[in-house]
Chains A and B, each alone.
Chain A
Amino acid sequence: MVRYVVNRLVQAIMLLVIVSAIGFAILHLAPGGPLSQFAVSAQMTQEDLDRVTRQLGLDRPLPIQYLDWFGRMVRGDWGKSYRDGEAVLSVISSHLGATLELMVTATILAVLLGCWIGILGALRRYSLFDTLATVGAMIALSIPTFWFGLVTIYVFSVKLGWLPAGNRHTIGDGSLLDLMHHLIAPAVVLALVETAMWGRFMRSSMLEVINQDYIRTARAKGMPEWRILTVHALRNALLPMITVAGLQLPTLLGGALVAETVFTWPGMGRLFLDSIGYRDYPVVMGILMFSAAIVLIGSLLADILYAVVDPRIRVG
Chain B
Amino acid sequence: MADDTGKLGVGALHLGIPNRRQFFQLGAGAAAGWTLSGSAFAQTERPTSPPDKPRGQVIAALSQEPTVFHPLMPGIEVDQGIWWQVFSPLWFIEPDGKFVPDLAREVPTIENGGLSADGLTWKIKLRNDVKWHDGTAFTAEDVKFSLELINNPDFRVRNRVGHSLVKDIKVVAPDEIHWRMEAPYSPYMSILSLTFIVPKHILEKVSDPNSTPFHNAPVGTGPFRWAERVPGDHIQLNAHAGYHGKGPYVERVVFKYIPDLTVLYTQFRTGQVDYTGLQGILPNFVQEAKTLKGRKIFVSSTSSVEHIAPNLEFGPFADRAVREALYLAINKQAIIDALNYGLPTQTESFVPQQAWSFQQGLPQHKYDPAKANALLDAAGGTRGAGGVREKGGVKLEFTNSTTSGNAVREQTQQLLIQDWRAIGAAMRVNNMPAAVIWGEFWQQSKFNSVLVSVNFMLGSDPDVTPRFGSSAIPAKGGRGFNTYQYRSPEADRLLAEGAKQFELAQRKTIYGDLQKLIRNDLAILPLFQGFIAEGVKEGLQGFRPNINTSINCWNIREWYWA
Interface residues in chain A, defined as those with a beta carbon under 8 Å from any beta carbon in chain B: 30-49, 51-52, 55-56, 80-81, 83-86, 91, 94-95, 98, 150, 153-154, 157-158, 161, 164-168, 171-172, 261-264, 266-267, 270-271, 273-274, 276-279
Contacts and interface: CB of A to CB of B under 8 A. Distances in A.
Contacts of A42: 454-458, 466-467, 481
A269 to B, nearest CB: 10
6 cross-chain pairs, A with B, having the tightest CB-CB distances, nearest first? A32-B439, A266-B232, A266-B233, A32-B435, A36-B439, A32-B436
Interface string B467-494: 1000010100011110000000000000
A46 B57 contact: no
Interface stretch (B85-93, B141-149, B259-267): B259-267
Which of B74, B266, B441, B457 has the most chain A CB atoms inside 10 A of its CB? B74
A154 B457 CA distance: 41
A44 B161 CA distance: 9
B452 interface: yes
B210 interface: yes
B442 interface: yes
B234 interface: yes
A241 to B, nearest CB: 33
A171 B457 contact: no
Nearest to A54: B156
Contacts of A164: 270, 272
A308 B333 CA distance: 71
B437 interface: yes
A43 B159 contact: yes
A261 B259 contact: yes
A277 B434 contact: yes
Contacts of A278: 435
Which of B67, B68, B158, B437 has the most chain A CB atoms inside 10 A of its CB? B67
B540 interface: no
B230 A37 contact: no
A270 B232 contact: yes
16 contacts: A31-B432, A32-B436, A32-B440, A38-B76, A42-B457, A52-B74, A83-B67, A85-B216, A86-B216, A94-B231, A166-B266, A264-B257, A270-B259, A271-B232, A273-B259, A278-B435
B454 A40 contact: yes
Contact of B76 (A31, A41, A262, A276): A41
B322 interface: no
A45 B481 contact: yes
Interface in B63-84: 65, 67-69, 74-77
A168 B440 CA distance: 38
B215 interface: yes
B433 interface: yes
Interface size of B as a range: 35 or more
Nearest to A94: B231
Contacts of A44: 74, 158-159
Residues of A contacting B: mostly: loop
A165 B266 contact: yes
Contacts of A91: 231
B467 A277 contact: no
Contacts of B232: 94-95, 98, 266-267, 270-271, 274
Given A31-B439, A274-B232, 11 more contacts: A32-B439, A34-B435, A35-B439, A38-B74, A39-B442, A39-B481, A40-B438, A42-B455, A43-B159, A55-B156, A153-B266
A171 B234 contact: yes
A46 B471 CA distance: 11
B171 interface: no
A262 B365 CA distance: 41
Nearest to A91: B231
Which of A30, A42, A166, A167 has the most chain B CB atoms inside 10 A of its CB? A42
Nearest to B303: A42
A84 to B, nearest CB: 4
B80 to A, nearest CB: 9
B161 A167 contact: no
B68 A83 contact: yes
A172 B272 CA distance: 12
Nearest to B457: A42
A44 B443 CA distance: 12
A42 B454 CA distance: 8
Nearest to B455: A42
Contacts of B454: 40, 42
A261 B215 CA distance: 26
Which of A32, A98, A172, A279 has the most chain B CB atoms inside 10 A of its CB? A32
B215 A85 contact: yes
